[in-house]
Amino acid sequence: MNESFLSYGGKRWLWFGGLSAGLLCVSYLLYRRQMLPHGGTPMGLTYGVLGTVVILILMVLGIRKRRYGSGLGTIQGWTSAHVYLGLLTMLLIPMHAGFKFRLDIHTLAFVLMAIVVISGVVGIVLYRTVPPRLTEYEKSIQADKVDKELGRLLNEMRALAKDKSDQFARVCQAEISRLTARHHQGWRLLWTSQWADPLAAKGRELADAVTRIPPAEHKDFQTLSRLIVQTVQLEQTVVTQMRLRNALQAWLYIHVPASIALMVAIGLHLVAVFYY
């Protein structure tokens, strides 16, 4: 991802977007000197048509990404174009409107477009930062191997608790019950704070529990504490992996629906302009 779609083809789309933005700014300054800018002037309509064409091109990327056998360019090339052309629309559409917005369907279309662009930028940041972190966490253990490792730790706990005091057995059973009662957190992991510092919380819990354990069992309780800490560390790793994976997908739940709503709003905008 370090040298992928943002710098694809010698940054050709970055250069194209930058040069296009410069030319558009120059044309708008000349346009303003000649008349009051608004969407109904020849230049205003030109900006609007260009903006609509660019938006349609951007929507094509969603289809192109699912056609891996297509010979029409590469995924990286299309993604690079998608990024820089998307940013260009944030200049084209305000120029089309003469930078004047009211509470109407036309402004709604621009707001939706801004949401699409901003969520797209968030997606870029996530895809540039999250995968390396996810790889680091996956080096310790893969998510599909967690249950097997937890099962091994639970078996060791059960074996350790045999013929021990009730206080020892209660600590062990409480941990086994907590682990076996685990349920899928799903998207709640993105905003829950229960995993903020689980090791510290578990350490305080075990430090309090050891005061109730018979001295003769302290050595075995240290072993039990080590196993419990391992389970917490394992859960931390898995929860972090799930959070990172959820973050990679969450922005799409804004980006895609907003893109669809944008196309509807553009259609209503065109109907309002040409019909009325």
pLDDT tens readout for residues 124-139: 888 888 888 888 777 7
Note whether 15 and 85 are within 8 A (CB): no
Query: Is pLDDT above 80 for 210?
Result: yes
Query: For 73, left (φ over 0), alpha (ψ -120 to 50), or beta?
Result: left
Confidence of residue 1 (pLDDT cuts 50, 70, 90): very low
Residue of 84, 83, 99 lying closest to 47 (CA atoms)? 99
Sequence-distant (6+) residues with CB within 8 A of 62 are 256, 259
Q: Is the dihedral of CA 8, 10, 16, 22 positive or negative?
A: positive
Q: Which of 3-17, 97-111, 201-215, 259-273 has the lowest mean pLDDT?
A: 3-17
**Segment 12-20 mean pLDDT:** 89
Q: What is the mean pLDDT of the chain?
A: 83
Between CA 145 and CA 112 the distance in angstroms is: 42
Q: Which residue has the higher pLDDT, 72 or 181?
A: 181
Query: Is pLDDT above 60 for 99?
Result: yes
- CA 225: distance to chain centroid? 36
The fraction of the chain above a pLDDT of 70, given in percent, is: 84
Between CA 65 and CA 220 the distance in angstroms is: 56
User: What tens digit of pLDDT does each residue of 102-160 get?
Assistant: 888 889 999 999 999 999 888 888 888 888 888 877 776 666 677 788 888 889 999 98
Name the residue with tokens 């990172």.
244
Q: Which residue has the higher pLDDT, 185 or 27?
A: 27
User: What tens digit of pLDDT does each residue of 43-96 get?
Assistant: 999 999 999 999 888 887 766 555 545 555 566 777 788 888 889 999 999 999
pTM of the model: 0.73
Which pLDDT belongs to residue 275? 74
